[in-house]
Structure 1
Amino acid sequence: MAMVCQLNQLSSDKLGFIPNLHLDDFDYLRDPEQFAQDFKHNPEGLVGAKYRFKCSDGYTRIFVIKRVLYRAEGIIGRASVVVEVECVCTESGCQWHGERKVIKISFPSRSRPPEDALIREARSKAESTGDLWALDHLPQIIDSITITYDESTVQGRLKTHLKEKYEERVMRVTILEKLYPLSELEDPRDFAQVFYDILQIHQWLYECVGILHRDLSSGNIMFRRKDDKIYGVLNDFDLSSHVQDMGNGSTSNQRTGTRPFMSPDLLDPDWEGGHLYRHDLESLFFIMLCLACRYKAPGIPATEPRPYAQWFSGTDLEVFNAKHTFFTKSSAKSPPIQPYFAGFKQWLLGIHIQLRYGYKRRPIYPSQLGVQSAYDEYEEDPDFDWNTLNKRASYTTMRSIMSSFQGKSLETRWANWNKDH
């Protein structure tokens, strides 16, 4: 009870809630429990709220929230919120007045590389190497501010008490160019081009920049329009890591990904092989599969019961078991694709067959020897390529399937993709 009383006396920013967020009609932040309850059931309640903070150029700007684009499940104030905003500040010299931007408020691990730094590194690499095509498929960071929690906050006190057992977090406010979600595409071929673009930029990031995204989801695949063309954009690098650092211990205490789209490996409690690049390719497959089978048109859910529902509602172990069965025991029959997305049948069947073959032929991972797991029926094979399931889940295999759609070639953006890749 004493702890509850102490928590009640802390300000919202010391509790870890979003500081400087002002709601004109209801001062929710004075009662975090009420704020959490209302926001859980009605995230649109944030529309009209004003958010004030000092940008890196020295201006203190005021933004009005116009639209809630995304809210991650989790404790309110400790999960990502993405909103479309309009700048309403009247400070002299502000060039943003009246413009629409996107603001993402996230709470990543303090030890994880900042998202804005990774994106700027990738964009700089594209410019210095002449791979300018890559810029069309990366988000544009306008500004980013990091807010740390000092020892007077709950996070600071927990860190002091628990030391290395507590994963310290920071709040990052990132201002980005406005992009468009998959639901705003209108032609199945545009969907196909966007997914093919994502495959290309993912490989370029991995092989040319040394960055692995690690969280492909339907919400992280966006697009931009340029010169009457549509370009797929790989968004949200909060959970991304440098490839060279991934063998030196995780940059977070948690496995990364969005559960419905995660590889079964990463949901397996016995898996100790780390996050491999083909896990992201499996996520891309799951995104396309769920889109084609669970939506009868862009943004319009299919009739209940929708396929693969357990992937969205089950526990990690339940989803792991369902996906393990999907890859190892289900037949290679056509998935229940909605008529609008019928053109994806060849892609989905082809990729499923490759992944199914790779999973069924995989041996026990070295760390699994002597451990009861879903894979203990297999024999040891020291030459097995775990990173690609013996080339069944490689960039080359995916490209061979995804480079054309309904018999017509898609646009390959990476001119040098044929060379040494």
Structure 2
Amino acid sequence: MGSNPGRIGALGDTLENIEEREMHITASRTCQKLWMVKSASEFKQVWLDCVKCHYWAFKKRKILHRDLSENNILFWRNQKSSGKGSEIKGVLNDWDMGALLSDEPKPSEKHLAGTIPFMAYELLSSNNLPSAHFLRHDLESFLYILMWAIDNYNLKAKTGRETRRAQAIGMLANRYPCCASQLEVFFIFIHPRTPWR
């Protein structure tokens, strides 16, 4: 078996397809996973806080998140000043794949940004990968996270089944068409316009 010096990784990426990244570290208070909320009402509050945060970043600063997943929707709890109860705040985390918008959207660098199980159908099914990332793609990711939470979280027991690393690796091995075909089964029932505008 010959070696190909320009080829690295199990997925066949070549050196020219690798892009440099910068590492940034942020420090903040400890947050909890979404499924650790105490009630459906708290879930709703955290969810809305994160959607509002995303809206603010998009509207005021022209930033798209581009990597929404269940692990990026977190919360923290503060004791109320009255000493009775606590307030909950949603935190939209992990903005390292975020991008500033420009007047003319450009294709995402050299690869698609996002967590595959929660990526927009249009991005997964595009024949011309990668394609430009739009607001509608982030909003579609929020929908998939919500569907995942409904199916996999038990708020009374404060448990959730996270997307498993093995599942994600399996999806990567099959690349994007596999995920797109799995989403097609879902779309049989809701019939979205493709692409969503």
TM-score for the superposition, normalised by structure 2 = 0.73
Matches of 1:170 and 1:280, distance apart in 2: 23
- Please point out which of 173, 194, 205 is paired with 2:46: 194
Matches of 1:180 and 1:196, distance apart in 2: 16
- Please point out which of 177, 184, 192 is paired with 1:317: 177
- Please point out which of 202, 207, 224 is paired with 2:59: 207
- Please point out which of 86, 89, 95 is paired with 1:231: 89
- Quick one: structure 1 residues 326 and 190, their matched pair in 2 at CA, closer, same or farther if it must change by over 3 Å? same
- Secondary structure of 1:244's partner? coil
Gaps in structure 2 of 5+ consecutive residues? 1-8, 81-85
Matches of 2:103 and 2:112, distance apart in 1: 15
Counterpart contact for 2:107–2:132, Cα < 8 Å: no
Matches of 1:232 and 1:254, distance apart in 2: 29
- Secondary structure of 1:237's partner? coil
Q: Does 1:358 find its partner at 2:183?
A: no
TM-score for the superposition, normalised by structure 1 = 0.36
Kindly state the Cα deviation for residue 193 of structure 1 after the two structures are TM-superposed.
1.4
Matches of 1:194 and 1:177, distance apart in 2: 16
Equivalent residue letter for 2:192: G
Kindly state the Cα deviation for residue 249 of structure 1 after the two structures are TM-superposed.
4.7
Correspondence for 2:4: none
Matches of 1:248 and 1:292, distance apart in 2: 34
Matches of 2:191 and 2:126, distance apart in 1: 23
Kindly state the Cα deviation for residue 236 of structure 1 after the two structures are TM-superposed.
0.8
Q: Does 1:260 find its partner at 2:104?
A: no
Equivalent residue letter for 1:218: E
Kindly state the Cα deviation for residue 313 of structure 1 after the two structures are TM-superposed.
4.4
Correspondence for 2:27: 175
Matches of 1:325 and 1:248, distance apart in 2: 30
Equivalent residue letter for 1:234: L
Counterpart contact for 2:97–2:113, Cα < 8 Å: yes
- Quick one: structure 1 residues 273 and 186, their matched pair in 2 at CA, closer, same or farther if it must change by over 3 Å? same
Counterpart contact for 1:212–1:243, Cα < 8 Å: yes
- Secondary structure of 2:114's partner? coil
RMSD (Å) for aligned C-alpha atoms: 3.0
Kindly state the Cα deviation for residue 312 of structure 1 after the two structures are TM-superposed.
8.2
Correspondence for 2:133: 275
Matches of 1:234 and 1:263, distance apart in 2: 18
Matches of 1:357 and 1:249, distance apart in 2: 26
Matches of 1:267 and 1:249, distance apart in 2: 14
Correspondence for 1:342: none
- Secondary structure of 2:26's partner? strand
Gaps in structure 1 of 5+ consecutive residues? 1-73, 76-157, 303-309, 331-355, 363-385, 391-421
Counterpart contact for 2:74–2:92, Cα < 8 Å: yes
- Secondary structure of 1:260's partner? helix
Kindly state the Cα deviation for residue 185 of structure 1 after the two structures are TM-superposed.
0.9
- Quick one: structure 1 residues 201 and 165, their matched pair in 2 at CA, closer, same or farther if it must change by over 3 Å? closer
Kindly state the Cα deviation for residue 187 of structure 1 after the two structures are TM-superposed.
0.7
Q: Percent identity, aligned pairs only?
A: 32
- Quick one: structure 1 residues 358 and 225, their matched pair in 2 at CA, closer, same or farther if it must change by over 3 Å? same
Correspondence for 2:159: 299
Indicate the structure whose relative CO is greater, using CA pairs within 8 Å and at least 6 residues apart. Answer: 2
Matches of 2:106 and 2:160, distance apart in 1: 43
Equivalent residue letter for 1:358: P
Matches of 1:248 and 1:296, distance apart in 2: 40
Larger Rg: 1
Correspondence for 1:216: 68
